[in-house]
Amino acid sequence: MGVVVVIAPHPDDETLGCGGAILKHISQGDDVYWLIMTSMHKPSFTSDQISTRDKEIKQVAKSYGFRDVFLSKFPAAGLDIVPKKDLVSFVCGIFDRICPEIVYLPHPGDIHSDHEVVFAASSSCTKSFRHPYIRSVRVYETLSETEFNIHPETSGFRPNLWIDVSGFLDQKISIANIYQSEIGDIPFPRSEHNIRSLASYRGSTINVEFAEAFTIIKEVL
């Protein structure tokens, strides 16, 4: 049994990026923690939006069966103005509490600035001399974020790890649909059709029905 933490800039990134892997980890007896790096606050969001999101988070957490959920108070779509030291301190504090062996992070080249900031802050917390329990750091791809960065000098997502999620894709999609304001119909990128299509494409690379792809940026054997 291992300890896994999935770091999501916003609720839904964890499901889009590695929902199948999360379910597989939990089915294998791993303790999986969910770290959400942003929260909704007034006046940017209404009371109804905040209440709905809180309910969605609780429902998603229950559906997965996370060991625990950590929710920050940092503002959604505003991480670029938060001092990096505050973000690093928050993430490192969680790492010290749970001692994760496997860390899942968003791709640094995602179009949303929150994703880039979360990657930078979280990767700062993976130094072996401070957190020797971390054995693997994996970067996930997020529909509507990873594929939309068109900066010519930004490195695209290059997977070197594939996880067979053939037995978990339907449950992943069911959980994704909990986010009523985030999942839409095609051609909207965050749709059931596109989630299934990406999983099928990634699966074809390793000769399985459905897979999720990751970039390993650190692996200690």
pLDDT of residue 219: 97
Q: Is residue 173 part of a domain?
A: no
pLDDT score, position 35: 98
- State residue 22's pLDDT score: 98
Residue 171 forms part of a structural domain:
no
Residue 78: count other Cβ atoms within 10 Å of its Cβ.
Answer: 14
Q: Which domain holds residue 101?
A: 3-165+212-219
User: 53 in helix, strand or coil?
Assistant: helix
Report whether 170 contacts 159 (CB < 8 A): no
Q: What is the pLDDT of residue 191?
A: 97
- 84 is a domain residue: yes
Q: Does the residue 36 lie in any domain?
A: yes
**Is 61 contained in some domain?**
yes
Q: What's residue 44's pLDDT? A: 86
Low-confidence residues of the chain: pLDDT under 70? none
Rounded-to-integer distance, Cα 33 and Cα 66, Å: 6
How confident is the model at residue 149, as a pLDDT?
Answer: 87
Where residue 125 sits, what CATH number does that domain have?
3.40.50.10320
- pLDDT for res 105: 98
Residue 205 falls inside a structural domain: no
| Residue 141 within a domain | yes
Task: Evaluate whether residue 146 is within a structural domain.
Answer: yes
Can you give the pLDDT at residue 152? Answer: 80
Name the domain count of the chain. Answer: 1
pLDDT given at position 27? 98
Q: Judge whether 172 and 20 are in contact, CB under 8 Å.
A: yes
